């Protein structure tokens, strides 16, 4: 959520930010709602103040055993007006809140302006793209012939966009999770295993609701949502809390399954496990003081890159331009891994600084030593990494001419020392 004060005091900057995001948002309309809302609040409070004074006088009269009937009648009459104003104020307040909750974060000054993903500049490239003497196969072919994946039965049991991992596929996935989580812990992150079902309030705090409701799986009976990322429970770890400055930053990592409805993506990435309704992810998350958040974003990116480096997977880092950034983010780097079988790079991690956008929704503050009052923290999240896509990338990059898959050295300790996955 944006600071309402920023909207009021610097509407032009906000308008420009939304323009840069390609968002057609009527800021003036929201400002008008705000004016109306405050008008009702002022009127209401004036009335209430007058009423409170009268009530006090009644108290005094009663104590002195004097007649207070006249004043009591007056207050009774005031209560009717107050009730009416209260309804109006609440309505205006709800309107304002509704409007504010769907406004995206303001892009940081360092974010390049652009329309869509075509305007995302490449920041760096790393690793050797493997050269094959044969036409590299996509991971789903390898997965099926090696008995690592079963797509048909996944459809039977669930529906399309689900995958069953089998034998060494399942094992490799588990190995990747352990490897990623251990690496994150080794780099100073505290490990969490969060709930996969969260309240609507938690989804609102991290920014998934109300705007992206159609992307989330909901258990309607319980007002519980399947998390689309462990960013959601991790953000909410400190909801409604005030943290001591000295304790910051918090660096958290959490493994979770992630569930996404992928509404509106029909026809995109239909094969394989690039875009599925359920996937695993090891997430990095930080709570920081505002002045440190952009540095912490850089180091989080390095933490995510480290996984790819250790796996010896070629990748590139791009920065998302203003038009391509996510709702809550002020600055985002995407890591794209090379997928030889698909002959392209695929997003495998996204590291974002959400500044105080989520903290404001989630009411997460910190107190400076000796400072007065509390300020909102900054929150950052990044994948390290999306497990399914990493699995696919490993298979495609490490395939051999015989259709086997070599196990990356970094994963062998997690695969009982296995060096190669072969048929049978």
Partner RNA sequence: GGAGAGAUGGCCGAGCGGCUGAAGGCAACCGCCUGCUAAGCGGUUGUACUCCAAAAGGGUACCGAGGGUUCAAAUCCCUCUCUCUCCGCCA
Binding residues for RNA (CB under 7 A) = 4, 38, 41-42, 44-46, 48-49, 51-56, 58-59, 62-63, 68, 72, 75-76, 79, 370, 373-374
| Rounded-to-10 torsion of CA 319, 321, 325, 328 | 90
CB of 247 to RNA, least distance (A): 14
Confirm whether 419 is a catalytic residue: no
Q: What is the C-alpha to C-alpha distance for residues 323 and 310, in angstroms, rounded to an integer?
A: 32
CB of 154 to RNA, least distance (A): 24
Q: Which of 16, 43, 306, 347 is catalytic?
A: 347
Q: Which of 260, 293, 329, 361 is catalytic?
A: 260
CB of 198 to RNA, least distance (A): 13
Confirm whether 368 is a catalytic residue: no
Two tokens at 298? Answer: 């850089």
Nearest-CA neighbor of 421 among 321, 412, 359? 412
Q: Which residue lies nearer to RNA by CB, 188 or 371?
A: 371
Specify the DSSP class assigned to residue 233.
H
Confirm whether 110 is a catalytic residue: no
Nearest-CA neighbor of 181 among 271, 282, 108? 282
Check if the beta carbon of residue 46 is closer than 8 Å to that of residue 82: no
Q: Which residue lies nearer to RNA by CB, 38 or 277?
A: 38
Q: Which residue lies nearer to RNA by CB, 5 or 423?
A: 5
Q: Which of 174, 239, 261, 275 is catalytic?
A: 275
The CA-atom distances, in angstroms, between 346 and each of 274, 315, 339, 407, 421 are 8, 9, 7, 20, 23
CB of 9 to RNA, least distance (A): 9
Q: Which residue lies nearer to RNA by CB, 1 or 172?
A: 1
Q: Which of 202, 206, 389, 396 is catalytic?
A: 389
Q: Which residue lies nearer to RNA by CB, 117 or 222?
A: 222
Helices and strands in the chain: count of H runs, count of E runs:
12, 18
Pairing of strands 164-165, 149-150: antiparallel
Confirm whether 153 is a catalytic residue: no
- Residue numbers annotated as active site: 260, 275, 347, 350, 389
């Amino acid at each position: 959520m944006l600071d309402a004060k920023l909207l009021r005091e610097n509407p032009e900057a906000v308008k420009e930010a939304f323009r840069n995001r390609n968002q057609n948002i009527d800021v003036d309309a929201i400002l008008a709602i705000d004016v109306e809302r405050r008008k009702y609040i002022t009127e209401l409070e004036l009335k209430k103040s007058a009423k409170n004074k009268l009530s006090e006088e009644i108290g005094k009269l009663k104590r002195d055993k004097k007649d207070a009937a006249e004043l009591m009648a007056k207050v009774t009459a005031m209560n009717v007006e107050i009730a009416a104003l209260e309804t109006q104020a609440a309505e205006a307040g709800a309107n304002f809140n509704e409007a504010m909750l769907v406004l995206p974060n303001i892009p940081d000054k360092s974010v390049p302006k652009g329309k869509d993903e075509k305007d995302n500049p490449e920041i760096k490239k790393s690793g050797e793209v493997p050269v094959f003497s044969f036409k590299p196969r996509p991971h789903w072919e390898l997965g099926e012939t090696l008995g690592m994946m079963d797509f048909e039965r996944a459809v039977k049991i669930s529906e399309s966009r689900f995958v069953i991992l089998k034998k060494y596929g399942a094992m490799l996935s588990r190995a990747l999770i352990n490897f990623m989580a251990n690496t994150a812990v080794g780099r100073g992150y505290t490990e969490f295993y969060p709930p996969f079902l969260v309240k609507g309030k938690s989804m609102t705090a991290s920014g998934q609701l109300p705007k992206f409701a159609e992307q989330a799986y909901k258990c309607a009976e319980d007002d519980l949502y399947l998390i689309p990322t462990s960013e959601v429970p991790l953000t909410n770890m400190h909801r409604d809390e005030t943290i001591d400055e000295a304790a910051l930053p918090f660096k958290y990592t959490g493994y979770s399954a992630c569930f996404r409805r992928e509404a509106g993506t029909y026809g995109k990435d239909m094969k394989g496990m690039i875009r599925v309704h359920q996937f695993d992810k090891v997430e990095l998350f930080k709570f920081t003081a505002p002045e440190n958040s952009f540095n912490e974003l850089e180091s989080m990116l390095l933490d995510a890159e480290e996984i790819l480096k250790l796996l010896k997977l070629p990748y590139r880092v791009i920065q998302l331009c203003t038009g391509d950034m996510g709702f809550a983010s002020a600055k985002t780097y995407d890591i794209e891994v090379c997928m030889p079988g698909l002959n392209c790079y695929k997003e495998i991690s996204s590291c974002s600084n959400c500044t105080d956008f989520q903290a404001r929704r989630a009411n997460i503050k910190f107190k400076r030593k000796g400072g007065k009052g509390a300020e909102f923290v900054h929150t950052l999240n990044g994948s390290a990494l999306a497990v399914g896509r990493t699995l696919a990338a490993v298979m495609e990059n490490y395939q051999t001419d015989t259709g086997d898959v070599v196990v990356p050295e970094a994963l062998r300790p997690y695969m009982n020392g296995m060096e190669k996955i072969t048929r049978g």
